[in-house]
Chain A
Amino acid sequence: MNAIYKKELKSYFCSPVTYTMIALFLLLISIFFYLGNLMSQDPNFGSTLQTGEYFLIFFAPIITMKLLAEEKKNKTEVLLLTSPASVVSIVLGKFFAAFTVFMIMVGITVIYPIILLFFGTLPTASIIGNYIGFIFMGALFLSIGLLASSLSDSQVLSAVVGIVSLFLLWFVGGIGESLGGVLGKILTWISPIYRYTSFANGLLKFSDIVFYLSMTGLLLYVTVVNTERKRWKQG
């Protein structure tokens, strides 16, 4: 796992795509920081971070799109799958590399609350809660992106599939609410956006943390199964 993690991380930072992506993400966050915090004199950076979740719909699948699709396209998948390394360790290595890139993006945004600190007191609980929620949400989105990347050998296709899936997931809660009944309850229950609300309020609920972690784990497991199944099916 370590070897794959290091290799992926290196290839991320050898690619201009990564730098462009990080820059674009920070540019967007900066704009909302300027409008939402500086202009409107609101010390709660958490609300800006909440807006940032929308960007994650695009950024997470773009981070992960190449991870498995490119291996297939360049026929390097053979090397990984004929080595004694297990598919689980391959998928985890790749996931954590993507997660590290994501954490670097998130890490840089810490500058903004620090800037705000010079002008007054901050709603610390809400900001920390938002960060924790943002990171869990990011991990979940990355695992969806990684699954999308395991579906084909085209990076563009995996990015599109990832973005569309995340869009649908975004609306699941709203649909559930309007539907009502058992189905509605289930839909609201699986909505990561609804789960996020308590983090935004500065509440750390154990059930929410378990939800994000287990959903991420489940999606990674599906990716592992899919990678193996493909091999079993058509070679």
Chain B
Amino acid sequence: MIEIKNLTKTYGQIKALDDISFEVNDGEVLGFLGLNGAGKTTTMNIITGFIPPTSGTVTVEGFDVMEKPEEVKKHIGYLPEHPPLYMDLTVREYLNFVAKLRKVEPDKIKANMEYALESVKILDVADRLIMNLSKGYKQRVGFAQALIGNPKILILDEPTVGLDPTQVIEIRSLISNLKKKHTIIFSSHILSEVSAVSSRIVIIDSGRIIAQGDTRSLSRSIGGKNLRVSILGPKSSVLSAIKNVYGVKSVELAEVHDDVCTFDIEQAENEDIRKALFYEMAKRSYPIYALKSLDDNLEDIFLGIVKRGGAKGGRS
């Protein structure tokens, strides 16, 4: 259980965090979403006791980070944005060092290391020097480090940045597996990634929380309102056909390419027109070539939320 209350952090004139409050319950996976520089890393650095807040409190498992930092640190495994690796050690030596640093009991160190190595699937490189590993492996070694000592809480700062798509999927499935045993906070700037694994989302922008709530309702309320659809057919008749579909608020021609017309459609509030659109076009034999939501990038979501003055689930 992590409680964050009225957290503020200023660097001189710059306000990195502005009165942030949220909670993370046991067994929850919290997705921490924000653009670069929004304050994600600062928040995580404060929770882990690496830097102090200017004001506000963080309580982890009942211990205040400022008052009992050593107790708090025992419960947290932290994977910072740049994995803190010693290039001149082998993976095993490194994890052994971390285990001693974390004050893992000597007879449990071996089991701990094996668990970490197995969880992130790096047994095959366990005896190689870290400097010779690829970026994906280095990231996983960093991940393994966070698992040492079996901490109750895992804090992962952008764990998938810079990895190739297969590695991203692996890390995601790893987080899904770990959520049975750990409470997890992980940050990202990709909405689809956060919604894929987390049960709750906190969105932060310029040091302030602009939306928070459970993943499903938040995704629905902040995404999927605008659609882009490509349809093969004469543009004027396709256009009038789209206008015919129930739930279409407005439609605009974006481009025409080889008789395939692309339209941007704004849907009415709380409507999903996709099914109706499909049947309407099928009836008229205009095949749909592509259909996608336009709101899946963060900039649009932020703009959308700011315009609407906060999403469902509350603005803090």
Contacts and interface: CB of A to CB of B under 8 A. Distances in A.
Contact of A14 (B76, B85, B88): B88
Interface stretch (A25-33, A46-54, A75-83, A199-207): A75-83
Interface string B65-103: 000001001101010101011111100010001101111
B100 A2 contact: yes
Contact of B84 (A4, A7, A75, A232): A75
Contacts of A4: 101
**A: interface residue count bin:** 20 to 34
Contact of A86 (B50, B70, B84): B70
Contacts of A41: none
B78 A78 contact: yes
A120 interface: no
A6 B98 CA distance: 12
A72 to B, nearest CB: 11
Interface in A1-40: 2-4, 6-7, 10-11, 14-15
Contacts of B49: 81-82
A9 B204 CA distance: 43
B50 A235 contact: yes
Nearest to A80: B101
B51 A83 contact: no
Nearest to A2: B100
B85 A235 contact: no
Given A235-B45, A235-B51, A84 B89 contact: no
Contact of B86 (A11, A78, A235): A11
Contact of B50 (A10, A76, A78): A78
Nearest to B78: A82
A79 B98 contact: yes
Contacts of A85: 101-103
B42 interface: yes
A37 B76 CA distance: 60
Contact of B145 (A6, A14, A79): A79
A4 B89 CA distance: 13
B101 A232 contact: no
Contacts of B98: 79, 83
Nearest to B49: A82
A74 interface: yes
A233 B156 CA distance: 24
Interface in B101-154: 101-103, 145
Contact of A84 (B11, B70, B87, B97): B70
Contacts of B8: none
Q: Which of A6, A231, A234, A235 has its CB near the most chain B CB atoms (within 10 A)? A: A235
Contacts of A82: 48-50, 73, 76, 78
Contact of B85 (A76, A83, A84): A76
Contacts of B103: 84-85
Nearest to B94: A7
Interface in A94-148: none
A84 B84 contact: no
Given A78-B78, A84-B70, A15 B100 contact: no
Contact of B80 (A2, A75, A231): A75
Given A231-B50, A234-B11, A235-B51, A83 B101 contact: yes
Contacts of A15: 88
B213 interface: no
A4 B48 CA distance: 20
Contacts of B78: 78, 82
B74 A84 contact: yes
Contact of B73 (A3, A74, A84, A232): A84
Contacts of B102: 83-85
Given A79-B145, A84-B73, A235-B50, 19 more contacts: A2-B100, A3-B97, A10-B88, A10-B89, A74-B86, A74-B87, A78-B80, A79-B80, A79-B98, A80-B101, A81-B49, A82-B76, A84-B101, A85-B102, A85-B103, A231-B50, A232-B52, A235-B42, A235-B45
11 contacts: A2-B100, A10-B88, A15-B88, A74-B84, A79-B84, A79-B98, A82-B49, A82-B73, A84-B74, A231-B51, A232-B51
Interface of B: 11, 42, 45, 48-52, 70, 73-74, 76, 78, 80, 82, 84-89, 93, 97-98, 100-103, 145
Interface of A: 2-4, 6-7, 10-11, 14-15, 74-86, 231-232, 234-235
